[in-house]
Amino acid sequence: MFTRIINFYLRYQNINLKISFILISLQLLHLYWLTTDVVIYRLTGIDYFIELSDFILLFIIIDYIEIPALVSGIIYYFFALIYDKKEKEKRIKNTVLLILLAIQSIHIFWITDEIVYSTFVGSDLIYMPEYFAWIAILIDYLELPVIYDLLKRIVKKEN
């Protein structure tokens, strides 16, 4: 049974690559929200997200898509690490990207965006040192190298 699942995955690896890319790329919208509504606002006091605040539900939905995106990405890089044994350099790269996604998934359970937002905006319910919020924000940006790598792999497979 296990080998059937592995064979199925490997047979459709190109589709899995594209699904992973689409799901993880949606996180660019989440990073836009994080950058404009949290980071820039915290640093400058200027809210660049105000014009898009009517679409907050869309940004919340995309934030929840992060969970299947991370699962998809972790599975993709796990299989790439195991079955792509061509070069040591690729193995190191796949390992690093897998670790970035694993850190990102741990971050979801460690510090959520709501806690980061509450820390910066102020809330009596949750107290967290501000530097923890900055660490959580930086962890969110670990998706960028993964998005770039997945896009590169798609373009390379299409050519």
Query: Per residue in 119-156, pLDDT tens?
Result: 566 655 566 677 877 888 888 899 999 999 999 999 98
Share of the chain above pLDDT 90, in %: 33
CA distances from 138 to 9, 75, 92, 111, 156 (A): 32, 23, 22, 12, 29
pLDDT band at 96 (very low <50, low <70, confident <90, very high): very high
Spatial neighbors of 26 by CB under 8 A, at least 6 apart, are 62, 65, 69
| pLDDT tens column, 131-141 | 877 888 888 89
Question: What is the residue-averaged pLDDT of the chain?
Answer: 83
Where residue 123 falls (left for φ over 0; alpha for ψ -120 to 50; beta otherwise) is beta
Q: Comparing 32 with 159, which gets the higher pLDDT?
A: 32
pLDDT at 28 over 90: yes
- Report the alpha-carbon distance of residue 130 to residue 25 in Å, rounded: 28
| Collapsed DSSP state (helix, strand, coil) of residue 113 | helix
Backbone angles phi, psi at 133, to 5 degrees: -65, -40
Distance (Å, whole) CA 56 – CA 13 = 34
